Structure 1
Amino acid sequence: MQPHVKKKFRLNSSHWFCIIGLAPIIALYAYLRFIPIVKTMYISLFEWDLISTNKPFVGLDNFVTLFQSEPFLMALKNTTIIAFGILIFAVPGSLIIASMLHKGVRFKAWYEALYFLPVITPMVPVAVTWKWMLDSQHGLFNYFLSFFGVPPQAWLFDPVLAVVSVIMMTVWKTIGYNMIIFLVGMTGISKEYYEAAALDGATGVKGFRYITLPLLKPITVFVSIITLIHGYNVFSQIYILASDIQGSPGYVVRVLVYDMIENAFRYYKMGYASAEAVVLFLIVLVLTMAQLWLAKDNTTSRKGAKR
């Protein structure tokens, strides 16, 4: 046998065509994404404001001050509760709905459109509508609760209920997107798996547990991480829901993005706000790395099972 000789990779005209075609897009993406991230990390190391020309280097002092700040810690706590609250309800809920639609129901396309409609609806009108429904005096939520003898609730004034309200609204708006992703994954599962499992008596719930869930693990990981990332970036719905309460959206539910914007453009503490942005970036980075690690672990385990 002749020894295997590795062929040298050479760029041909097709490769150059792709590189030249993608170069402007990559350059624009780098200018709009990567450069601002680096600039934000740089500013976080300075006592930077929008007024003074003197911007002294302070190192990690902004980060030390950050984790000694009660408003920031409260914002981090609220954001984490909201993000994981959305995760707990949105991911299992969308998986159940996708499973029911995948089995085949009448008017399936209409149900898919109905669930996906909130996803494509802009956040501002959605938040305004929910604000009206959550009104403590004339809202629909308190109207329905009155049938069960429950007194009116201050949904947007009580800190706990305000967090619950944000979670409910965000789950309602995002569950359709997750449902579509799960439906795509279920469609890609071969029927042969279910037929083989049926011979062993694994039908219905057992088939869902031992066939659907394991094969959907990569998609479940993807949906979970995307949901968490969106949860940590929550801002618009809170800003609108609490816009008229005590004159400040951060009065009831303070979140990271709001705290960042307030420090940057209200108090002109750009260095401090940049440090908050870096912390948020690191949280998102850790969640993304967790997604890649779980997906890689799942791929490795499946290759081992095939061997």
Structure 2
Amino acid sequence: MTAHAKKRFKLKAGHWFCILGLGPIIAVYAYLRFIPILRTIYISFFEWDLISVKKPFVGLDNYIELLHSEPFLLAIKNTTIIAFGILIFSVPIAIVVASLLHRGIRFKAWYEALYFLPYITPMVPVAVSWKWILDSKTGLLNYLLSFFGVPNHAWLFDPVLAIVSVIMLTVWKTIGYNMIIFLVGMTGINKENYEAAAIDGATGLKSFWYITLPLLKPITVFVSIVTLIHGYNVFSQIYILASDIQGAPGYVVRVLVYDMIENGFRFYKMGYASAEAFVLFLIVLVLTVVQMLLARDNTASGRRKKR
């Protein structure tokens, strides 16, 4: 056996060691993730009500019913508005905050902890706190707006204002995570880029626009796609904010996850709910593929520039 062949054999042995070590974890992950996904897709082709013994095969009827269902179309519309609303506000604000912290202000660690604290706080207590803030009669937000002559608003009763409230809450909660990611990316930018730009007269906003933002493009793509995925999975904050309104939660702002849970566990239309879950899975899958393609394009363009 030649030396080159021995080297290849040792490399394969190292790969087998990693596979055997990760095997149990991969098996558990597949059991908890992939099998439920396949099971959900299977159920979506049946009239599955959790009660009857017979579960007739209906083919694509559940998906056809989705396309003609006003609650589902409304849920898709509201979820999309919320997801992109979170994206539009969360990502730019996080970039600005990260840029300010990257300049090396005093008590930087305290500011980082202050911004990151809402992200690690569980959603339920956060939503309960915001429900008190957004209360139409005794809420803090209406109290502060009254100083500027703004009349009281029913933030949690009006469908449009309820969507705005959900976006405000979620942006406030996710800014810390996005800020940390951007801050890590800015730390990795070589200072020589800024020094070269300063020689050409690009300082302040110009260096941020022509140096920081272009070099942060891969991270911006990652953060944007992750924010969109989280936005499409929004549920807990809406469930808490809309509770005790019109007799049941979720009626003011209907989103995809709530519509799915209601159809599956309230009306026992598990096949129909599984079809909704598969639609959500496809949305997340498309966003993930877009992220991978954009990341690959950025990596390829970076290699061409180095050459």
TM range (shorter): over 0.9
- Taking the aligned partners of 2:110 and 2:235, their CA distance within structure 1 comes to 31
- Taking the aligned partners of 1:145 and 1:213, their CA distance within structure 2 comes to 34
Query: RMSD over aligned Cα, in angstroms?
Result: 1.5
- Residue by residue, what CA displacement relative to the aligned partner does 1:54-107 show, whole Å, maximum 9, x if unpaired? 111111110110010000000000000000000000000000000000011000
Q: Report SS of the residue matched to 1:148.
A: coil
Q: Identify the residue that residue 91 of structure 2 maps to in structure 1.
A: 91
Greater CA deviation, 288-297 or 9-18? Answer: 9-18
Q: Identify the residue that residue 119 of structure 2 maps to in structure 1.
A: 119
- Residue by residue, what CA displacement relative to the aligned partner does 1:213-242 show, whole Å, maximum 9, x if unpaired? 111111000000000000000000000001
- Taking the aligned partners of 1:87 and 1:16, their CA distance within structure 2 comes to 41
Q: Identify the residue that residue 26 of structure 2 maps to in structure 1.
A: 26
Q: Identify the residue that residue 171 of structure 1 maps to in structure 2.
A: 171
> Alignment length, in residue pairs?
304
Q: Identify the residue that residue 277 of structure 1 maps to in structure 2.
A: 277
- Taking the aligned partners of 2:283 and 2:273, their CA distance within structure 1 comes to 15
2:199 maps to 1:207: no
Q: Identify the residue that residue 156 of structure 2 maps to in structure 1.
A: 156
- Taking the aligned partners of 2:199 and 2:93, their CA distance within structure 1 comes to 29
Q: Report SS of the residue matched to 2:151.
A: coil
- Taking the aligned partners of 1:194 and 1:52, their CA distance within structure 2 comes to 68
Q: Identify the residue that residue 74 of structure 1 maps to in structure 2.
A: 74
TM-score of the aligned structures, taking structure 2 as reference length: 0.96
Q: Identify the residue that residue 191 of structure 1 maps to in structure 2.
A: 191
Aligned-pair CA distance for 1:261: 0.3
- Taking the aligned partners of 1:191 and 1:138, their CA distance within structure 2 comes to 50
Matches within 5 A, 1:129-140: 129-140=129-140
- Taking the aligned partners of 1:304 and 1:232, their CA distance within structure 2 comes to 35
Structure 1 runs of 4+ aligned residues shifted over 6 Å read 4-7
In structure 2, stretches of 5+ residues that fail to align are none
Q: Decide whether aligned partners of structure 1 residues 300 and 13 sit closer, same or farther in structure 2, where only a CA change above 3 A counts.
A: closer
- Taking the aligned partners of 1:287 and 1:6, their CA distance within structure 2 comes to 43
Q: Counterpart amino acid of 1:137? A: K
Q: Identify the residue that residue 236 of structure 2 maps to in structure 1.
A: 236
- Taking the aligned partners of 1:164 and 1:48, their CA distance within structure 2 comes to 36
TM-score of the aligned structures, taking structure 1 as reference length: 0.96
Identity, in percent, stands at 79
Q: Counterpart amino acid of 1:69? A: S
- Taking the aligned partners of 1:192 and 1:32, their CA distance within structure 2 comes to 47
Q: Report SS of the residue matched to 1:98.
A: helix
Q: Identify the residue that residue 59 of structure 2 maps to in structure 1.
A: 59
Aligned-pair CA distance for 1:118: 0.1
- Taking the aligned partners of 1:187 and 1:205, their CA distance within structure 2 comes to 17
